[in-house]
Amino acid sequence: MAEGNGELCGDLKPKVERTEDFQKLIDCGLDEKVAAKLDDIYKTGKLTHADLDERALDALKEFPIEGAVNVLTQFLDANLEHVSNKSAYLCGVMKTYRQKNRAGQAAAPPATQTNTVKAPDEEKIKAILDRTGYSLDVTTGQRKYGGPPPDWKGAAPGNGCEVFCGKIPKDMYEDELIPLFEKCGTIWDLRLMMDPMSGQNRGYAFVTFTTKDAAQQAVRELDNYEIKPGKSLKVNISVPNLRLFVGNIPKSKGKDEILEEFNKSTAGLTQVIIYSSPDDKKKNRGFCFLEYESHKAASLAKRRLGTGRIKVWGCDIIVDWADPQEEPDESTMSKVKVLYVRNLTQDCSEEKMKESFEQFGKVERVKKIKDYAFVHFEERDSAVKAMEELNGKDIVGGGSAIEVSLAKPPSDKKKKEEMLRNRERRMMQMMQIRGGMMPTPIPMRGPGGSGPRNSGAGMRGPMGRGDYGWPWPWAGNSSGSGPWSGRWSGHGSGSWGSGGAGPQGGAPTRSLRGSWGSAVGAHRTWAGPRQGKFVRQAQV
C-alpha cells in the first residue's frame, strides 16, 4: 500500500495556481511555457493583461519559446516604476534581445552584468518629482521628464526653445541634469536618450524650455560646463529638421502638382518649396524641398522615399535632409541694414532696383546675382521701411512679385565646410548604392597645392572648396550641359556667403559652396568689419 502510494505520489506534478488570464493567453496562441511565465508576472502586479496590446502579444508569438521566456525574465527584472506604456516597453525589450543575439551577445545577461550599470538615484528623482509635480516616463529608448509642466496653459514652446546637450557622462541621469538646467529657466521637458543594449545613456539629451530666453541662457551658462572632472558638456540651440531635399524632379511640375504627388507616398507633408528658373518662371529648377509637420514624419518620409523603389513621374529621385540654416540671434539681426531680394527677372537691372529702393532712403549699393540681389542701405530704418513696402510687389511690371527680407550675416565658415563635406559624402554614398549613377568618380580632395587658397582648380576641376553652386560637378562641363545639367541647379542664396538656393525666410539650401555666386564667375563674399564690403577673387 505504501509502495503503491509512493508510486502514485511520484506521478503527480505539483499543481500551479493560475490566474483567470492564463487561459486568455493560451487562446491568443501563446505557447504554454510563455503563457505560464507571463502569468507569473501578472501575479507580481508589475503587469496586467489589460496592459498588453495585440502588437506585444503577436511579437511574443513570433519569438522562439526559450527566447520569449528570457525576454519576459528580463522584463520582470527591470525597474518599471516610471514606465507608463508597459506594452511598448516589452516590445522594446524584445527588440533589444534580437539586436544582442545578432551581435553575438548572450541572450539573457546575468544579474552581475546588469549590476555593473549605475542605476539612477530613485530617492533624488522622487524628491524632484514631488517638488516640481512633473512626471517621468521611461521607455527602452529614452527617459522623459515633464512635458508639459503642471497647470500649463497655452501652446507648446516653438522653435528656438529646445537645446541639445551632448557629451553627457554615460552613467549620468536626470537627477543630476534637472537641477543644472532648471537654473536657466522653466523646463518644459527633458529627454535623456538611452541605449537599450548597454542600459546606459547615449551621451546626449534634449531640453525644452518654456521660452527662447531660457534656452539661450542655458547655452551661455552651460556650454563647455565641466559637469565632472575632465567632462565638459556641449550645449547649443536645437533646430528640428522638418525638411527634405528632393532632386531630379521634372522641371515642368508646379508646387500643387508636387504636393499632390508626394502626398500619395508620404504622410504629414505640409508645404512644398520650389524655386523658379531665372530663364523661365513657369519652370522649377529640378529640385524641391518638402516640409513635414514633425521630424518624425520627415524621417519616415526620407526612409520611404530613399529606398530607390519609389519613382516620381517615372524619375529616379535623390532624397536627403535639407541643410538646416543656423538662425542669427535677435541682437545680431537688429543691426542688419542689408536686404535680400529674390524672384527677380532678367529685365530687372541693378539700376532699376536702386531707383525703386532709394525712395525709402539712401542706398549704398545694389548687387544682383542671377535672380536675387542684396540691397545695402545707409540706415537700418530705411531698409526696414523698404522691406515692408516692397515685399510682394512687382517693381518692373513683368508680373513677378519680389520677396524682400533682411539678409542674414555670414555663418561660421568652418561649420559650413564641415556640413558641406558631410552632405557631399552622403550624396556620393547614395549614388553608389543606386548602382553607379555618377558618370565619373569625384575625388574628395585635390592634389597638394590646388584649391582656392592657391587659386588652383582644386577639388572638382574648375571648382574650389569655396564653390558649390550650380552647375554641380557632374553637370558635364562648365556651361552646365551634360547628362546631369540642371537637375541640381541652385542659384539663390539663403544667407550671406551661402551661395545656396534657399530663401531668406529660413528655407534651407542645397548649393552652399561659394559665396553669393554660382560656380562660374567671380567669387563674391561679404567680409570685413564694414557691412557691405565686397571682396572679389577671380576664378581660374
The residue type of 193 is: M
Residue 455 confidence (pLDDT) above 50? no
Domain boundaries, the chain: 20-104, 122-237, 243-321, 333-406
Strand pairing category for 231-232 and 338-342 = unpaired
User: What's the pLDDT band for 425 if we cut at 50, 70, 90?
Assistant: low
Class of domain 243-321: alpha beta
- Give Cβ neighbours of residue 366 (< 8 Å, ≥ 6 apart): 350, 353, 354, 357, 373, 374, 375, 376
d(CA 482, CA 540): 21
Q: Could you identify the residue written with the cell 551634360?
A: 482
- 351-386 tens-digit pLDDT: 888 888 888 988 998 988 877 889 999 889 998 998
pLDDT of amino acid 241: 82
CB atoms within 10 A of CB 135: 14
- What average pLDDT is seen over the chain? 74
- Banded pLDDT at 179 (limits 50, 70, 90): very high
What pLDDT score does 97 carry? 87
Residue ranges with strand state E in 168-273: 187-194, 201-209, 226-228, 231-232, 234-237, 243-247, 269-273
DSSP assignments along 481-493, one per residue: -STTTTTS-----
The pLDDT score that the predictor gives to residue 189 is: 92
Tell me the pLDDT tens digit for each residue of 495-537.
Answer: 343 333 343 444 444 333 333 333 333 333 343 333 333 333 3
Per-residue pLDDT tens digits for 219-259: 999 999 999 999 999 999 887 788 898 888 888 888 888 88
Residue corresponding to grid cell 524655386: 275
Confirm whether 122-237 and 243-321 share one CATH topology. yes
Average pLDDT over residues 153-167: 87
Percent of the chain with pLDDT over 90: 18
CATH topology (fold) of 122-237: Alpha-Beta Plaits (3.30.70)
Its CATH class, for the domain covering 333-406, is alpha beta
| Average pLDDT over every residue of 391-397 | 78
Residue that has been written with the C-alpha cell 514633425 in this structure: 294
Q: What was the pLDDT predicted at 475?
A: 34
* Rounded CA separation 316/308 (Å): 7
Per residue in 279-313, pLDDT (tens digit) is 676 778 888 889 998 888 898 899 888 877 888 88
Q: What is the pLDDT of residues 40-78, one digit of tens each?
A: 898 888 888 888 888 888 889 888 889 889 989 888 888
Please, what is the Cα angle at 466 between 461 and 468, to 5 degrees? 70
pLDDT digits (tens, 9 = 90+) for 130-139: 999 999 999 8
* pLDDT the model gives residue 347: 78
Largest CA-CA distance found in the chain, in angstroms, rounded:
120
